[in-house]
Structure formats: structure tokens, C-alpha cells
């Protein structure tokens, strides 16, 4: 027997709290627990109510400092990624977003003698 669960409407107080928590960068799972809602309901509400969400880059300050330092020394994105435990693509993207200049291009033509 199929039963459709009635959806509980969002109260203005809940929407206000949702906005504050999402703007503060609190993960959806934590917001769901605080508001006694499912993660899916929170994600849908964020979209439905047009809440601006602050997203973390996932990089700690020491990782960004290390990326900058290694790039300045001329290391490639691949080597930097292996050093800090990230992929080459992830390092390349974070460098581009933060305006960090690239080290040596990985596939640069070799100089002939």
C-alpha cells in the first residue's frame, strides 16, 4: 500500500534560521538536524527560497600557503598535488581562482642542445 507523507510547511521562523545558517556556511546535514528536517528538505528549501549559500573551498590556510610556496619555486601542479594530497586538476583550479602563478608547465617542449 502506497502512502504519501504530508509535507510539513516551512514556518517563517524556520526560513529565517535556514537563511542565517546557510549564509554562515553550516553544512546541510547540520542544518537538517537543527531544524528537524531531512537533508533533502533543507537542500530543496535553500533552492526554493533563494538562499545564498557560502561554500568553502575545502582548502585550509596552510594548504594554500604551501601551494603558493611550491608554485613560486617552479613546481608543477602535479608535483604540488602529490605533495599536499590533492589532484593536479584541483591544484590548477585553486591556483587560477586565487591568482597564483603556475610553476613549470608539465608538458613544455624540451630545450634542444
Angle 39-48/28-35 helices, nearest 10 degrees?
100
Q: How many CB atoms lie within 10 A of CB 26?
A: 15
| pLDDT tens-place string over residues 39-93 | 999 999 999 998 877 666 566 778 888 998 999 888 989 999 898 888 999 899 8
pTM for the full predicted model: 0.48
pLDDT band at 111 (very low <50, low <70, confident <90, very high): low
Q: Are 90 and 108 in contact (CB under 8 A)?
A: no
Residue 68: which of 105, 96, 106, 95 has the closest Cα? Answer: 95
Sketch the domain layout of the chain as residue ranges: 12-48, 61-98
Model pLDDT, residue 3: 64
Contact 78, 88 (CB under 8 A): yes
Amino acid at each position: 500500500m502506497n502512502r504519501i507523507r504530508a509535507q510539513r510547511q516551512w514556518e517563517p521562523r524556520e526560513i529565517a534560521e535556514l537563511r542565517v545558517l546557510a549564509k554562515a556556511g553550516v553544512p546541510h546535514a547540520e542544518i537538517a538536524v537543527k531544524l528537524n528536517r531531512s537533508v533533502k528538505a533543507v537542500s530543496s528549501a535553500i533552492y526554493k527560497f533563494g538562499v545564498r549559500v557560502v561554500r568553502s573551498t575545502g582548502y585550509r590556510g596552510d594548504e594554500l600557503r604551501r601551494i603558493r610556496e611550491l608554485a613560486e619555486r617552479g613546481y608543477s601542479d602535479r608535483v604540488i598535488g602529490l605533495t599536499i594530497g590533492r589532484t593536479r586538476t584541483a591544484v590548477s583550479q585553486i591556483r587560477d581562482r586565487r591568482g597564483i602563478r603556475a610553476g613549470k608547465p608539465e608538458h613544455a617542449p624540451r630545450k634542444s642542445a
